[in-house]
Every structure is written in C-alpha cells, then in structure tokens.
Structure 1
C-alpha cells in the first residue's frame, strides 16, 4: 500500500488541486504508461520512496491518459520523473534509473526552499515557452521565419498527402506512446498516411499548436485540415464516423 502522500492522478483538475495545495512542498511527478515494461519496476520504486520520504508529494500520472499534463512537462518518453517545488523545476530523471531517482529524491526531500541556490532553480516550463533560449551571436544568428512563412510551410506539410500525422518520432520508431498508438490504429484501419517528426523542428512543433488551436501531439491532418488527436481517432472509430472519413480519402 502506498503512503498517504502518494496519489494516483486521474484528472487535470485533481493534479492542479494537489499541486496548488502546498507550493512550498517538494513534489515528485512520476509519468508512466502501461505499454512500457520498465514502468512497472519504477512504479514500485516510486511507491517505496513515497513511504520513505513522507514530506514529499508523490503524483503518479499515466501519461497516455493524461496527455495534457505530460505535454505540459515535455514528457517524450516513459518512465520519466520531474521534481518540483512550487513552479520551480528541481530535477528531471528519464528512464528506468532507480539509483539516480533515489539520489534526486533524497537530495531535494531534505532541502529547504531557502537552501536552494539559484543554480538549482529553473522555471518548470519548457525553455521555448519561457523565452529562455540561449543567446546567439549576431554573426551566427540564423534567418528567422516570419509567422506567415512558417504558416505557409506548415500548410505545405499538412497537404503533402491526404492523411498526415504530426508525431514524435517516425512510424517505425515512435518516441511516445500516443504516437505509437496512433500509428498502430491507422495501420489497423488500413489508412495510408505520411508523417512529420515534430522533434526535428521546434518551430513546427510550437507553430502547429497555434495554427490548429490544438495543444498536444500527435495531430492527425485529413485533406489539409486538423482531424484531431488520438482520443478523437478512437472515438470516431467507436462511433463509426471514421468509416465516412476513410470513404472520402
């Protein structure tokens, strides 16, 4: 049995409520997925840590079911762990590295907010969203796309075939469970599609969120327009709507 400071997060609302309840407390976010075998072992490690360090808040988050939370912390693989205090990112640990995770939790569970040095602290948001990109000397600065140029390029990518999947990784080597599931379902449905790896182009990655008013990936594009993400795809298949979509391809 997990300790009282351990919570299985089931909704975005629950996550926000737990995080906002005590912003001075160290929190360990544990992102996992049922498809990833290493997560089973690490989930047990996380539960043991919650018992040993009752002062920390431990939130277990199934990344595939709570995609918005996973996206907001730029989780691209599981298992993945994020240590926070309030809105401050303390440490990231990626992969089934139990010793590294234990060392990180021990370090920050025993550190008071006042003891954190400036070098320990970083905004708990992706650098691209925090405006934290490293400065580039003027002589090395690359020509920046205008918003119009970027939108035009994204529109071209969206129209490269009748169905385009903007995903993490490539169809034969997805970099997240959401992308893996999407590819698998489209192949099961015998839908021909092309793809674009958003991890190779940060401008497209951020621009697609704005262009389509859709904050997460994968994004499925049908005939040049946003169809939706994994949840929409699953729902449309369950209702039979997707058969009509395939008929128009």
Structure 2
C-alpha cells in the first residue's frame, strides 16, 4: 500500500505519528494556508506519497502557526520548511519551496542504508546563510549549551547570570541541539569555544570578554541594539492607547489568529492601531523577549500587555473585554 499525506492538527497526533514510525522516515511539512508556495509543495508531497517506492515513509503536513510549541522546537522561522525524522530524531531539513531538493532528500532518507543528511550535506554558502540568519534573528543573541533555565555547562551558566545582572534582553540558541550550527559557527566567526554573544549581527565574544566588559561597566555600551530596540518597542507599544501587534493589518490579516482578533476588536467599536510584525523582523523577535510572550497577535492597552487570542476570547466571553480596553 502506498503512503498517504497526513494532516496533523495537534501535538498528540504528531507524537503518535513519530512514535509509530518504526525507524522509518517521517517527513513533516511546516506550512501556512496563506502561503501559496505551501500548497504547491503539499501537491509535491502528495505525489511522493503515492509513489510505492516510499511505502514505509510517512508524509505529514501541519499548520506551523497552529502548533507554535512544535514550530519552536524545530526552530521554524519561515514556511515552507520540511523536517526529516527517524526514530523521532531530526536527520535533515529543507527550508523553502524546492521540489527537486525535496524529492532528492526523500529518496536518500527513505533508503534503509541512509544514516545522515543527503550528500553533499549542504553547500558551504547555504550553511553560512543559515548562520547569518540565526545571528541576526535577534538584536542580542547568545549561542550557549542548554538554555537560560537549564544551562548545560558552567561557562553558559555564568554568562546567563551576567546578562541577567545587567538586565540585558536577549535570545538564545542551544548549540547542543544542532551539531551543524555548533561546528559551523566556530569557523564562521573564527571563535573556537562557547558560549558566544552577538549584538546586531556582530560577535561580542565569549565569557572572558563579556565578564571583563561587565566588570568595567562597558557591557551595555557594547550592546546598543538592546537599549535602542527596547526604546523602539516602548514607543510602538505606547503609540496608541490600544495597540495590536499582528501579522498583516486589519484590512489584510496574514494568519487566522490575527484575523480572529480583528473580528473580535471590530465588535467592540474601540479605536485601536495595528503594527504588522511581518514588516520588521527585529521588532517581531524583540517584542517576544521584551514582553516574555512567544506568539502573535499581542494586544496592549495603555502600554500594558493584555495577551494573545486565547485571553482576548476569554475576556469577550466573560464580558470583561469592554472594560479592559478602556485606556487608563
């Protein structure tokens, strides 16, 4: 029997698919209904799923924005993205709509003898592009072992403590979760150890340099992107008594969550402004850290975060929303 294209709608469904993989290949397409290239690539997946050569391969498509925790886990920053898994372990990935490359990778990893990424692994330029994108994904980003809640080495733990003591806003990347990034970044930045701290796309250094900058009172001066962005975010949040950060705008919402919030807001007759986070990646990533809220849309009243879609829906259903939306 030929494989099928499965439309997964929950974390539990995806876990069941991966658990039942039996060591065979599972191809997961992180897509979005508003992106036409995702529909085109789903058609490609459907054709591959019909091919009896891939009888043991499972093909999955899911809405990236519907399952944000899964998207965060696999570091999905754009759609379409394809993750190739065996025994619940990521063995390869493909970013973008490239039918030829997708087919090649499926053929390679469907082979019982395949043990790693398809050959060649990736042109050096592709890895460099990815590293550059990661480095510039936030105004300040720390490449470390583990995460701020669970550092996996003493140096990373000390670095996190220094940044916390200096009230630095930053994002992190766990280099233990991606060997390609771990090894490639050493060469890319000519810095052989971790942790590594970057600001506005430039390497600041490792623990010794950051510790010295902190002791001399120079650390914040070396991170102008952090303070500048913070002021920009505060200005945007307070630019209207009621401010909605969303994907798209009220005339053209770019995700179903933003569309639902717009519908709710239109029923309140409250005046509000919007900001399209798709138009500014720095704001999009920075606001997540600034407000400690990982998803969009985000609604603010008088400069204070109210929350996302779920909270707004709850307030509407309980009759609290009208009072909450009154500027203080």
Settle same-fold status: TM greater than 0.5: yes
1:168-196 deviation line (CA, Å, top 9, x unaligned): 23333333332233223322332321122
Whole-Å separation in 1 of the counterparts to 2:224 and 2:12: 37
Contact kept, 8 Å, 1:28 with 1:56, in 2: the verdict is no
- Residue 157 of structure 1 deviates from its aligned partner by 1.1
Distance 1:36 1:117, change over 3 A: closer
What does residue 218 of structure 1 align with? 297
Whole-Å separation in 2 of the counterparts to 1:178 and 1:215: 14
- Residue 217 of structure 1 deviates from its aligned partner by 1.2
- Residue 211 of structure 1 deviates from its aligned partner by 1.6
Contact kept, 8 Å, 2:68 with 2:295, in 1: the verdict is yes
Is 2:317 aligned against 1:238? yes
Higher RCO (Cα < 8 Å, 6 or more apart): 1
Is 2:199 aligned against 1:200? no
Whole-Å separation in 2 of the counterparts to 1:226 and 1:170: 19
Whole-Å separation in 2 of the counterparts to 1:56 and 1:26: 6
Distance 1:30 1:184, change over 3 A: same
Deviating above 6 A after TM superposition, structure 1's stretches of 4 or more consecutive aligned residues are: 2-5, 20-24, 35-42, 131-135
Contact kept, 8 Å, 1:219 with 1:228, in 2: the verdict is yes
- Residue 14 of structure 1 deviates from its aligned partner by 4.4
Which residue, out of 106, 110, 116, partners 1:109? 106
- Residue 4 of structure 1 deviates from its aligned partner by 6.4
Query: How many residues end up aligned between the 2 structures?
Result: 232
What does residue 249 of structure 2 align with? 170
- Partner of 1:169, secondary structure, is coil
1:71-92 deviation line (CA, Å, top 9, x unaligned): 651246xxx4524344455323
1:128-172 deviation line (CA, Å, top 9, x unaligned): 26598988xxxxx8x963423322221121111111111223333
Tell which structure's C-alpha radius of gyration is larger.
2
Distance 1:241 1:3, change over 3 A: farther
Contact kept, 8 Å, 1:28 with 1:58, in 2: the verdict is yes
Distance 1:50 1:233, change over 3 A: farther
Whole-Å separation in 1 of the counterparts to 2:254 and 2:323: 30
What does residue 59 of structure 1 align with? 60
Contact kept, 8 Å, 1:83 with 1:91, in 2: the verdict is yes
- TM-score w.r.t. the length of structure 1 is 0.70
Whole-Å separation in 2 of the counterparts to 1:36 and 1:205: 19
What does residue 49 of structure 2 align with? 50
Could you tell me which runs of 5 or more consecutive residues in structure 1 were left unpaired when the two chains were aligned.
Answer: 95-99, 136-140
Is 2:43 aligned against 1:25? no
Contact kept, 8 Å, 2:30 with 2:64, in 1: the verdict is no
Whole-Å separation in 2 of the counterparts to 1:154 and 1:63: 26
- Residue 109 of structure 1 deviates from its aligned partner by 1.3
- Residue 16 of structure 1 deviates from its aligned partner by 5.1
Whole-Å separation in 1 of the counterparts to 2:261 and 2:326: 19
- Partner of 1:220, secondary structure, is strand
